[in-house]
Amino acid sequence: MSKNDNGKFDRDPGTVVYSWGRKSGERVFVSRSKAYGNRIHIREWLLNDKGAYYPTRAGITLSLSEVRKLRRALEKACEMYELD
């Protein structure tokens, strides 16, 4: 764990708002935590041999306004690739 990682979040992902599995043993969690204030955290977690998820070091924390901007950008990107 690097010195910039928040140890509290590593033990408790907070309130999971949404999640999806990427492939076997990997899951992406979108969560809110008191440690992050009024922000959203997105991080990939891996399944260990004991059947418990542990966090990877890669993660991103966004404010609510940044999440709204990201949503609009993703919607526009999806529209570009939709087939008629």
Contact partners, residue 80, CB within 8 Å, separation at least 6: none
Model pTM greater than 0.85?
A: no
For residue range 16-72, what is the model confidence (pLDDT) as tens digits?
A: 888 888 777 778 888 887 776 778 888 888 877 777 777 776 788 888 889 899 899
Classify domain 7-81 at the CATH class level: mainly beta
Could you tell me the residue ranges of all domains in the chain? 7-81
CA distances 30 to 57, 73, 79, Å, are: 15, 18, 23
